[in-house]
Amino acid sequence: MLCFHIQSIIETQANFLNNIGVYRRKCAKFPDGERLTGRTAVITGANSGIGRHTARIFARLDAKVFMLCRDLNKARIVRDEILDEIRLNNNNDQQENRIELIQLDLSSLQSVRKCAQEINDKVDQIDYLINNAGIMMCPESKTIDGFESQFATNHLGHFLLTNLLLDKIRRSSSARIINLASIAHIPGSIHFDNINLENGAYTPLKAYAQSKLANVLFTLELARKLRDTNIRTYAVHPGLVNTELGRHLNGLALCLLNFFRRMILISPELGAQTTLHCAFDSNINDDSGGYFA
């Protein structure tokens, strides 16, 4: 299940690189207005940064939200903060079941399978899947399953999760799958002959770029496979966002990040607008597979 059809991916990569202008869009700020009562959103990495704000908006709009997080203690704090805000705004204490927490470690395929099974047991349908979680520029390491950590966490975990939830997503009258990508995909390549970047090939940036390119290609391939369904899928670059994603940076890269943090980095709230735009804008139905920035 984790294997790509390599020929299809190579063709998709070539098509994407030849048509990158088609897939880049400028996104307007999400207009806070519609209600999502009766709809279900599943969000990975929902306890911090962009994922946290995304979960907050979905919950505020009355969706049922599943926050998939590695650290449930942190997730509980965030969930309670979101629920407190909703109670304050709505003067309504009957909100406890609006947000559910499920433990998910995307670097572990066993954890992904367990998480997906729990979700499938709880819901009849899924209307939004936001593959938001990720890691960046990490020191070289492998997961318990033997994969390079950034590729496993950023791509393989989400690839498996999406496929395991796809039957419930198909039940929605109008579903969207959104993959958090990055402009870092541009210098990336998929190293099919050395996917773990072993034998001295590893650099943090090369591994990150490979994982982000995989996100974009996965989005395109999903759109192709699902083109005759009610599911739309998008890859989004949120911009340069002030989140915890850069926690593995060191040396000059960390110094530059800290120097420019207040000048060029945008807030997670602004960074989430691209995701929210792709989740809610009905005018982009014909752009499934698109890359939005």
Active site residues: 208
SS3 225: helix
Q: Which helix (H) or strand (E) holds 231?
A: strand 231-236
Collect all residues with Cβ–Cβ distance below 8 Å to 249 and sequence separation of at least 6. 137, 257
In a 3-state reduction of DSSP, which class is residue 182?
A: coil
By C-alpha distance, which of 233, 128, 236, 135 is closest to 182?
Answer: 236
Distances (CA, A) of 217 to 17, 175, 184, 189: 10, 19, 13, 11
Exposure string (b/e) for 71-101, b if CB count within 10 Å is 16 or more?
eeeebeebbeebbeebeeeeeeeebeebbbb
Q: In what order do the strands lie in the sheet with 40-44?
A: 99-103, 64-69, 40-44, 128-131, 175-180, 231-236, 291-292
Burial (0-12, 13-18, 19+ Cβ within 10 Å), 138: middle
Report the sign of the C-alpha dihedral through residues 261, 275, 134, 3, in that order.
negative
